[in-house]
Amino acid sequence: MPHGRTQITGFLLFALAIFASSALFADLPTETDFLVEVNGVVEPYSPRAVFVLPGESVRVGVDAETESTSMEVGISGGSLKQVSERKWIWEAPEEIGSYQAVLRNAESGDMQVLNLFVMRPFKEIKKGILNGFRLGKYPKRAPAGYEPPRGFIEVTEENEDTHVSAHFQLKQFVCRQKSGYPKYVPLNESLVSKLERLLDKARENGFYWSGFRILSAFRSPYHNGSQRRARLSRHMYGDAADITVDENGDGRMDDLNKDGKVDVQDSVLLHDMVYALEREDLNGVRLGGVGVYAHTRHHGPFVHVDARGTKAVWVKGIRRRVASRFSSSMQ
Ligand SMILES: [Zn+2]
């Protein structure tokens, strides 16, 4: 057994036993009396995911509004140092893999989970291959914002169901290329955060969706090249996803605007929510692109969202009459 894992506390074993029995955290209360802060960023959803390189330090804490002074933390790997009543520094282990932290308010019993991924560093890619997985090559001379990912999450049959947020699982972001395990995927926290906030925005508008169907998130440079996609696709960088709403599970976009047909207007409805979200204070979430795609012979309508850090809006396959609606948001 790796050294780090022998340090599991009794509290963590207790916590992990509870989580193991609740299928994919579906039964976990989403409302808790405290929020977790990771490297200074508070998110309203649980569980949260943290992506780090081996040996990297992460600041974990409880948001300032929490009144409890009896917070406990259990962690399944690496070392944890308490720096104040409600702040800790977690030093990630050297071993690549998935770990878990549980924070608990001992007064109320409320708990939050952090799923921690120690990534395989970019520098381990040799001739476009990372530990047997064909990633291909990232463009050497690329503009700012297109630097290759720092590291790649190792996806195995054991961890692919792990939640990276309340409504999304790791396996939804994996590249669709044919390969065995382990697979590797870069994933940007801002993308996950944006998708969660988009679900909140939908709820505000009376749409109670259980999640999004992610048609395509990460596309390795190898896969991207074989599909003749844009040379510098955001999909190669782990911060883009092509999504639909598919509550009826038929594999394609639902009739969101209830006009009796599934078409580009359903993408437009989703786009409008992304656009509304972009105008709000996103609490550190990076602004990004949104693309509206009409259906073609090959696919139904969908929406591209990303967290590229600068605003970009585009439409694809839409007649000018419909596209003119976007002129204000494209400026
Ligand atoms: Zn896309």
Which residue, chain included where needed, has tokens 């955001």?
A: 234
Q: Are residues 221 and 106 in the same domain?
A: no
Supply 98's token pair: 């998935």
Mean pLDDT computed over 70-96: 93
Helix-strand-coil split of the chain, %, nearest 5: 25, 25, 50
- Residue 3 binned pLDDT confidence (cut-offs 50, 70, 90): very low
Q: Are residues 159 and 76 in the same domain?
A: no
Instruction: Convert the pLDDT of each residue in 147-180 to its tens digit.
Output: 999 999 999 999 999 999 999 999 999 999 999 9
From CA 189, how far away is CA 270, in angstroms rounded?
Answer: 21
pLDDT of residue 140: 87
In contact, 46 and 70? CB cutoff 8 Å = no
pLDDT of residue 196: 94
Residue 235 Cα to ligand 1 middle (Å) = 6
Residue 96 Cα to ligand 1 middle (Å) = 29
9 vs 8, more confident: 9
pLDDT of residue 287: 73
In contact, 242 and 234? CB cutoff 8 Å = no
Q: Chain-centre distance of CA 307, in angstroms? A: 11
Strand residue runs (E) in the chain = 36-38, 41-42, 48-52, 57-62, 71-75, 79-84, 87-91, 97-105, 111-118, 120-121, 129-130, 133-134, 151-155, 183-185, 213-216, 240-244, 289-293, 302-306, 312-316
- Residue 10 binned pLDDT confidence (cut-offs 50, 70, 90): low
Local structure of residue 169 (DSSP, 8 states): B
- Residue 221 binned pLDDT confidence (cut-offs 50, 70, 90): very high
In contact, 275 and 287? CB cutoff 8 Å = no
Residue 219 Cα to ligand 1 middle (Å) = 10
Q: Are residues 51 and 94 in the same domain?
A: yes
Residue 304 Cα to ligand 1 middle (Å) = 4
Residue 305 Cα to ligand 1 middle (Å) = 7
pLDDT of residue 6: 38
From CA 1, how far away is CA 41, in angstroms rounded?
Answer: 33
Q: Are residues 278 and 173 in the same domain?
A: yes
From CA 197, how far away is CA 281, in angstroms rounded?
Answer: 11
Q: Are residues 141 and 49 in the same domain?
A: no
In contact, 46 and 62? CB cutoff 8 Å = no
With a cut of 50, say whether residue 329 has pLDDT above it: no
Residue 128 Cα to ligand 1 middle (Å) = 23
Sign of CA dihedral 217, 237, 302, 286: positive
Residue 73 Cα to ligand 1 middle (Å) = 38
pLDDT of residue 281: 60
What CATH number is associated with residue 84?
A: 2.60.40.10
Residue 101 Cα to ligand 1 middle (Å) = 32
Select, from the ranges 97-106, 178-187, 257-266, the one with the highest average predicted confidence (pLDDT).
178-187
* Structural domain count of the chain: 2
Mean pLDDT computed over 103-107: 90
Q: Are residues 149 and 268 in the same domain?
A: yes
Q: Are residues 197 and 311 in the same domain?
A: yes
Q: Are residues 144 and 250 in the same domain?
A: yes
Question: Taking all residues of the chain, what is their mean pLDDT, rounded to a whole number?
Answer: 85
Q: Are residues 224 and 252 in the same domain?
A: yes
Q: Are residues 167 and 273 in the same domain?
A: yes
Q: Are residues 9 and 114 in the same domain?
A: yes
Burial class (CB in 10 A: 0-12, 13-18, 19+), 55: exposed
Residue 236 Cα to ligand 1 middle (Å) = 10
DSSP, collapsed to helix, strand or coil, labels residue 294 as coil
With a cut of 50, say whether residue 242 has pLDDT above it: yes
Residue 290 Cα to ligand 1 middle (Å) = 8
Residue 165 Cα to ligand 1 middle (Å) = 20
Residue 221 Cα to ligand 1 middle (Å) = 14
Residue 215 Cα to ligand 1 middle (Å) = 9
Q: Are residues 97 and 7 in the same domain?
A: yes
What CATH number is associated with residue 171?
A: 3.30.1380.10
In contact, 264 and 256? CB cutoff 8 Å = no
Which of 118, 146, 180 represents a domain boundary (last residue)?
118
- Residue 45 binned pLDDT confidence (cut-offs 50, 70, 90): confident
Residue 148 Cα to ligand 1 middle (Å) = 18
pLDDT of residue 330: 38
46 vs 50, more confident: 50
Residue 282 Cα to ligand 1 middle (Å) = 21
pLDDT of residue 64: 78
With a cut of 60, say whether residue 320 has pLDDT above it: no
Residue 180 Cα to ligand 1 middle (Å) = 24
pLDDT of residue 159: 95
Instruction: Convert the pLDDT of each residue in 11-41 to its tens digit.
Output: 565 565 555 544 444 445 557 889 999 999 9
Mean pLDDT computed over 94-122: 94
Q: Please tell me the least confidently modeled range out of 6-15, 90-99, 212-221.
A: 6-15
Q: What angle, 0 to 180 degrees and rounded to 10, lies between the N-to-C axes of helices 264-278 and 189-204?
A: 110
Which of 68, 87, 118 represents a domain boundary (last residue)?
118
Which of 70, 98, 118 represents a domain boundary (last residue)?
118
Residue 119 Cα to ligand 1 middle (Å) = 24
Residue 303 Cα to ligand 1 middle (Å) = 7
C-alpha pair distances (Å), 23 with each of 99, 119, 170, 275, 299: 18, 25, 15, 34, 32
pLDDT of residue 278: 80
Range of the domain at 72: 3-118
Share of the chain above pLDDT 70, in %: 84
pLDDT of residue 16: 59
Burial class (CB in 10 A: 0-12, 13-18, 19+), 240: buried
Residue 240 Cα to ligand 1 middle (Å) = 6
Residue 320 Cα to ligand 1 middle (Å) = 21
Instruction: Convert the pLDDT of each residue in 274-316 to its tens digit.
Output: 888 887 765 656 678 888 988 888 889 999 999 988 777 777 7
Residue 92 Cα to ligand 1 middle (Å) = 32
